[in-house]
Chain A
């Protein structure tokens, strides 16, 4: 298989001091990859660099072989990359329906954008009941549904998810994770998942990547990582 996303020697950060050092990462079409690590490991910066919010100082980012470094942030979604940022990125001042429609405004295929919107309402029934409610009235779980749903309206090839489990009840986390796996199975979507909740992330991931202090320290099958006691103690804390 050829890699959908290919990252080589990526160094990036804010100002002069790099946060990411020489990152290599290869993700194949349809994989779920979990990036784990402690606070400050550079997980969020990795996602922000992939979606163009942070400009790399050196290294390569390729999607399907095409260089992404010069692509503007607002063009990423047209390349098939959906980035659901930390804190979920719901525009709290807009209604549920407005948030979702925002996810499809860039699409030229308006008919399919409308179809995708209907599908999201079917998938997330609580959102359909609260179409006219502003985002700030939603619960944490509903906001995660909204952010995920909004990303799905773009029918992305690669979904970048930053801490989707943050602040959610265990039952809701399990639902979200199961949904991600189902989506991957049904659409072939590739998922790069950043998580502190290692158990949840490894429960659905094919590949686990462990970061520490801005470097990738381990990349292995999720099944192997689940049983690697030494690694779990050293980097993942459980």
Chain B
């Protein structure tokens, strides 16, 4: 039972990170109907920038801020410089370009920083509080929960309570109609990419200290889990991303705890397969068929 409780808490804290990362995929999907396979590599790039600043200045939080702002800029840049010029008549075009971006970003990071793991410190202790002999959560885990809950709350407020959020949603659903109503649709698309990449950077800063450290490929496995979380949730739904993230986090924790860590990646792929076969729209996917 102790083990089960431990694994549950471990799964929840992993799940929170997957949820944040899945959310970044959902944001881009909703804005541009592209699954951004480069999200992981982009997050790693901004994490490198963040840790470089943190090392140079001695301030983790300055580095953290640099990573998030770097995410905003990188996201906007990728949309303005690359994605805007992709012919989106076939959905595969965007995917192939995103995969190309992964190769470019990882190669550039390898050239600048080298292809070895670099230490990535955490801003809070990762030693878990022990309650009744069971290691539950660390201060870092609490920080992860707080950060993810805050970003979800901010996004919900942005999309449901602000004029910019309304413009962004309208521009994504009906670009021509939105332009006729005075909405700068191109600007909203750039903003969507910027926000999504910043959320991806946040997820990177939350997950990299819990893994082996900084490496150009540091987010590859995380991406698979977060992508699964997003698909489980329905790709279209922010709530779905959070629920999907928690499901994937718990699954990974239980499977690696009871069956061994080597089985865990296979479990994620099995989950992805089951969802795609049984409920291709995901748990919270919107109904595609509409009345005229």
Contact = CB atoms under 8 A, between A and B. Distances in A.
Interface of A: 51, 53, 73-78, 82-83, 85, 89, 91-94, 98, 101-103, 105-106, 136, 150, 154, 167
Contacts of B170: 91, 94, 98, 102
Nearest to B172: A93
A77 to B, nearest CB: 4
B177 interface: yes
Q: Is the interface of B mostly helix, strand, loop or mixed?
A: helix
Nearest to B184: A74
B290 A53 contact: no
Contacts of A76: 180
Interface of B: 163, 166-167, 169-170, 173-174, 176-185, 286, 290-292
A120 B92 CA distance: 43
A74 B187 CA distance: 11
Contacts of B177: 85, 89, 91
Contacts of B286: 93
Contacts of A83: 180
Q: Which of B166, B182, B286, B291 counts the most chain A CB atoms within 10 A?
A: B182
Contacts of B183: 74, 102, 105-106
Contacts of A74: 179-180, 182-185
B147 to A, nearest CB: 29
B189 to A, nearest CB: 13
B181 A105 contact: yes
Q: Which of B180, B182, B184 counts the most chain A CB atoms within 10 A?
A: B180
Given A85-B176, A91-B173, A91-B177, A136 B166 contact: no
Contacts of A150: 181
Nearest to A77: B182
Contact of A89 (B167, B180, B290): B180
A89 B173 CA distance: 11
B184 A105 contact: no
A136 B291 CA distance: 7
Nearest to B160: A98
Given A77-B181, A105-B163, A167-B292, A93 B169 contact: yes
B99 to A, nearest CB: 29
Contacts of B291: 136
Given A74-B183, A77-B181, A136-B291, A105 B166 contact: yes
B169 A94 contact: yes
12 contacts: A53-B179, A76-B180, A78-B182, A85-B176, A89-B177, A93-B169, A93-B173, A101-B166, A103-B181, A105-B167, A105-B183, A154-B182
Contacts of A73: 179-180
A75 to B, nearest CB: 8
Given A91-B174, A94-B173, A102 B292 contact: no
Contacts of A106: 181-183
Given A101-B166, A105-B163, A105-B167, 16 more contacts: A73-B179, A74-B179, A74-B180, A74-B183, A77-B182, A83-B180, A85-B177, A85-B180, A91-B173, A91-B177, A92-B173, A94-B169, A94-B170, A102-B178, A102-B183, A167-B292
Nearest to B236: A93
A75 B177 CA distance: 13
B173 A102 contact: no
Contacts of A94: 166, 169-170, 173
Contacts of A102: 166-167, 170, 178, 181, 183
B90 to A, nearest CB: 19
Contacts of B169: 93-94, 98
A92 B290 contact: yes
